[in-house]
Amino acid sequence: MPSIYDFANAEEIASYYKEKQSNSIPYLGRALFPRQKQLGLDLKWIKGAGGLPVALTPSNFDAKPTLRDRIGFSEIETEMPFFRESMRIGEKDRQDINNLMAARNSELIQPMLRNIFDDAAGLVSGAEVQAERMRMQLISTFGVSIEANRKAYTYDYDPNNDLTNHIETLAGTDMWSDTAASNPVEDIQSAQDTIEEETGERPTRAVCTRKTWNYLIQNESIRGDIIANGYASGGNLIMTDEIMRNYLSNKLGLTVTVYNKKYSKTVKNQSGNLFFPDDVFSLLPTGTLGNTYYGTTPEESDLMTGNSNADVQIVDTGIAVTTELETTPVNVKTTVSGIVLPSFERIDQVYVLNVHTA
């Protein structure tokens, strides 16, 4: 008779996760920061203030960053955070599956296995949640603050404070929440002009949440401009997302993504948390902004060297799914681990507007 390990193994779990992912809406950050693989724990990336390509000076691990003050480039080296979480199949579930296998009742085995696979796939999804959280923090704050394995990690992608003028906080009647007095178009144009003057690249995209988008929908100066300049007709204009998108495209050459995707912080606390924060409007250049780098987890290292008796599969470029048969009691443990951190080579070409403060 087959054992539970014949069903609940890394290969089956990885295949199940990939099938689920093929039917889901991808994270925004995957397009902005494509996935890349690299060996080890250390990440190096280029931050360029001058907008020109430059060859990196070799730098040893644990060495200080090599600075190039003359043209404003620096090579930054850091260690990536390590995420790992495990789950076991409950003893009762294992006994139930064994009984059903003995009775050759495949119709009832499949729903139980699906529940087990859903739990395991949830671990893999959690690793990608962490990557998306970091990517959205980057484009909204220029930094990353995250916890992994009960250790807090903080990464400052502008350590020399070269880009403080690329993060602007509006106040008073300038805040977009004041839909009668604020002028978002002027704020956006000013931000675009700043980036273009400094880098030669004009932002053509933006990201915000539904709450921030609604400030634009309700803004009186935008409404008046739409009616006065024929972007839409009729004094009793009913503003829609389509009208606003067309207006911003024609007026500013800007395409806005309204990103309201959420995640839950813990299994017990299922309250939704936004990946991208409310009251922030981030302007981005065309193309990718950096890369999402995946390092080599201990489980993957064992797989590469052949020193592991566990079953290991790699999904999503660098997430390791490991299943291990335990003997006391006989059980299957599933572990998901990842080492991930995004680079941000085009940070100089991003502008962040904090459009409302409490």
Looking from the CA of 317 toward its CB, the CA atoms found within 13 Å total 18
Q: What does pTM read for this prediction?
A: 0.80
More confident residue, 76 or 97: 97
Name every residue whose Cβ is closer than 8 Å to that of residue 67 and which is 6 or more positions away in sequence.
74
Among 169-173, 269-273, 311-315, which stretch is predicted with the lowest mean pLDDT? Answer: 269-273
The predicted pLDDT at position 337 comes to 81
Q: Does residue 49 lie in a domain region?
A: no
Q: What is residue 70's predicted lDDT score, i.e. its pLDDT? A: 31
Q: Which residues contact 120 (CB under 8 A, 6 or more apart)?
A: 8, 13, 16, 17, 87, 321, 334, 336
The answer to whether position 300 is within a domain reads: yes
What's the average model confidence in pLDDT over 118-142? 85
User: Scanning the structure block, which residue is given the tokens 């994270």?
Assistant: 27
The per-residue pLDDT for 60 is 35
Dihedral Cα 344, 192, 141, 275, nearest 10 deg: -90
Predicted local confidence at residue 129, as pLDDT:
86
2: pLDDT strictly greater than 60: no
Q: Specify the long-range contacts of residues 179-184, CB closer than 8 Å, at least 24 apart.
A: 179/215, 179/218, 179/219, 179/220, 180/220, 182/215, 182/219, 182/221, 183/221, 184/215, 184/216, 184/219, 184/221, 184/222, 184/281, 184/355
What pLDDT does residue 128 have?
84
The answer to whether position 9 is within a domain reads yes
Cis upstream peptide for 329 (omega within 30°): yes
- The whole-number average pLDDT for the span 204-227 is 96
User: Does 283 map to a domain?
Assistant: yes
pLDDT score recorded for residue 199:
92
CATH label of the domain that carries residue 134: 3.90.1690
Q: What is the pLDDT of residue 66?
A: 34
What is residue 22's predicted lDDT score, i.e. its pLDDT?
52
Q: What is the structure's pLDDT at 270?
A: 55
In a domain, 57, yes or no: no
Q: Is there a domain that residue 295 lies in?
A: yes
Give domain status of residue 337, yes or no. Answer: yes
Domain that holds residue 19: 1-41+80-358
Q: What is the number of domains present in the chain?
A: 1
Amino acid at 189: Q
**pLDDT tens-digit map of 190-204:** 999 999 999 999 999
pLDDT tens string 11-60: 777 776 677 665 566 799 999 999 988 776 666 655 543 333 323 233 33
Task: Specify the pLDDT at position 48.
Answer: 43
- Does 306 score more than 50 pLDDT? yes
Residue 64 lies in a domain: no
